[in-house]
């Protein structure tokens, strides 16, 4: 009876990182395959960020379902939870939009064009906001941004991921002024790729960490 419960709770943990790894590598392969043409890359990047959010939501539900199944919450409490959630979901949605706008403004302040390349800048802000900010929002609820700002440390998984994605996108700006004249040096691509690299790096790191450290813990727990 104990083993399946442990398995259930650990399954999302692995699947999350594996699936984000697969998604990230997938989008990179696609970008490379399309020879970094903007008209092909931008929709792909938007779809990628949407998929990342959907994945997060799906995993959340899976986890919830697993928890409920194992613990067996009463139906009345369930209803309460749901009513609480509707406003929450709405707030999360609004905050996500705000995040996209915020990242967009920051990108403009960093020197992106306001009118020209609007689509490119918007795509960049969607990618970065959805990877770095919307997912914590989904995980932690509407107070996520505040929590992230407050604790901001390297130990927490979510914080580390957010920081890594931002730093990746930030570092991604470095190759733009170089005179190599490669197609991937076009404006949103380097930064998006940087953000995806940040995502891949943290996912890989967590995966390795969970394989090295967690099995021992898990074994201890199950005993």
Partner 1 sequence: MKLSGLSHLLVEQLVVVSALLAYLTGIVSVRPQPSPVDDHTLFDGLLRKNASDKFVDKTVIVIIDALRVDHLVRTSQTLMSHMQDLMKGSAYGYVVRTATPTVTLPRIKSLVTGSIPGFMDVITNFGADELLDDNLIHRWVNAGRRIYFFGDDTWLKMFPKHFAKSEGVFSFFVSDFTEVDRNVTRHLPSALSSDDWDILILHYLGLDHIGHLEGPMSSLMGPKLIEMDRVLFDIQKGLERKGHKYLVLVCGDHGMSDAGGHGGSSHSETTTSALLFSNAFKYIRDTEGREVNQVDLTSTLSFLTGVGIPEGNVGRPLSEVMSQFDMERRMMLHHNAAKQLLSIAHGSGLSINHDSANLIFEEATQLHKEVLKKLHKDSTEHQYKEAEAERVCKFYQECQKQASETLTSKLQSYDIPTICTSTVAVIMILTICVWRMCTGAVLSDMINGATVAWCAGFTLLAWLLSCAATSNSNICHLQRSTPWLLTVTVIYIMLMISQVFQARIPSVPQKNKSLDMVTYFLLIGSGFYSLSLLGTSLVEEEHQTIYFLVTSLHFCLILKLLSGSSGSSGSKLHERENLLFEETYISQTEELPLRATKHSDGETFIQKLRRSPYKIILLLSISVTLSRVMRSWNSTGDKWKHLEDIGDGIRASGPSILAFVVLFGLVITIFLFSQSCLPLVLIVCGCIFGRHFHWRGESYNDGLFEAQIAYLMLIILFVYGLLKAGLVTCKAHDSKSQMLSDVYDPEEDKISVLLKYSHAAACLLCLLLQRADNVSLISLVFLQNYIMSSVLCKLVVHGIITKKMAAVAVNWLGYAHFFYQGNSNSLTTVDISAGFVGVSSYRPVIHGTLIATQTFGASFLTYLNYLSHMISKDAQKERWQQPLYVWWTIRLATVSLYLVNVTFQRHHLFIWSVFTPKLLYEGAHLLVLCFLTAFMWSVEKICTVLEVSYRFE
Q: Does the protein bind partner 1 through residue 101 (CB under 8 A)?
A: no
| Least distance (Å) between residue 160 CB and partner 1 | 15
| Least distance (Å) between residue 146 CB and partner 1 | 5
Q: Does the protein bind partner 1 through residue 179 (CB under 8 A)?
A: yes
| Least distance (Å) between residue 129 CB and partner 1 | 15
- Taking CB under 8 A as the criterion, the residue among 8, 13, 36, 170 binding partner 1 is 170
Q: Does the protein bind partner 1 through residue 29 (CB under 8 A)?
A: no
Q: Does the protein bind partner 1 through residue 71 (CB under 8 A)?
A: no
**Cα angle for residues 142, 145, 149 (degrees, 5° grid):** 150
- Taking CB under 8 A as the criterion, the residue among 79, 97, 176, 208 binding partner 1 is 176
Among residues 59 and 144, whose Cβ is nearest to partner 1? 144
Q: Does the protein bind partner 1 through residue 154 (CB under 8 A)?
A: no
- Taking CB under 8 A as the criterion, the residue among 33, 143, 209, 221 binding partner 1 is 143
């Amino acid at each position: 009876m104990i083993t399946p419960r442990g398995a259930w709770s650990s399954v999302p943990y692995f699947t999350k990182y594996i699936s984000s790894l697969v998604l990230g590598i997938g989008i990179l392969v696609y970008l490379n395959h399309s020879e970094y043409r903007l008209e092909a890359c931008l929709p792909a990047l938007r779809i990628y960020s949407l998929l990342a959010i959907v994945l997060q939501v799906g995993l959340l539900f899976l986890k919830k379902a697993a928890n409920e199944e194992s613990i067996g919450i009463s139906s009345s409490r369930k209803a309460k939870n749901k009513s609480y959630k509707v406003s929450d979901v709405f707030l999360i949605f609004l905050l996500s939009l705000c995040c996209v706008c915020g990242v967009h403004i920051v990108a403009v302040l960093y020197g992106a064009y306001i009118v020209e390349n609007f689509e490119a800048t918007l795509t960049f802000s969607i990618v970065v906001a959805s990877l770095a900010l919307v997912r914590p929002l989904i995980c932690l609820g509407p107070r996520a941004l505040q929590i992230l700002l407050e604790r901001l440390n390297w130990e927490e998984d979510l914080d580390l991921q957010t920081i890594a994605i931002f730093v990746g996108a930030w570092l991604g700006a470095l190759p733009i002024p170089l005179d190599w004249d490669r197609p991937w040096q076009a404006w949103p691509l380097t930064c998006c790729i940087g953000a995806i690299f940040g995502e891949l790096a943290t996912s890989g790191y967590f995966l390795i960490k969970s394989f090295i450290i967690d099995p021992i813990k898990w074994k201890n727990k199950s005993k």
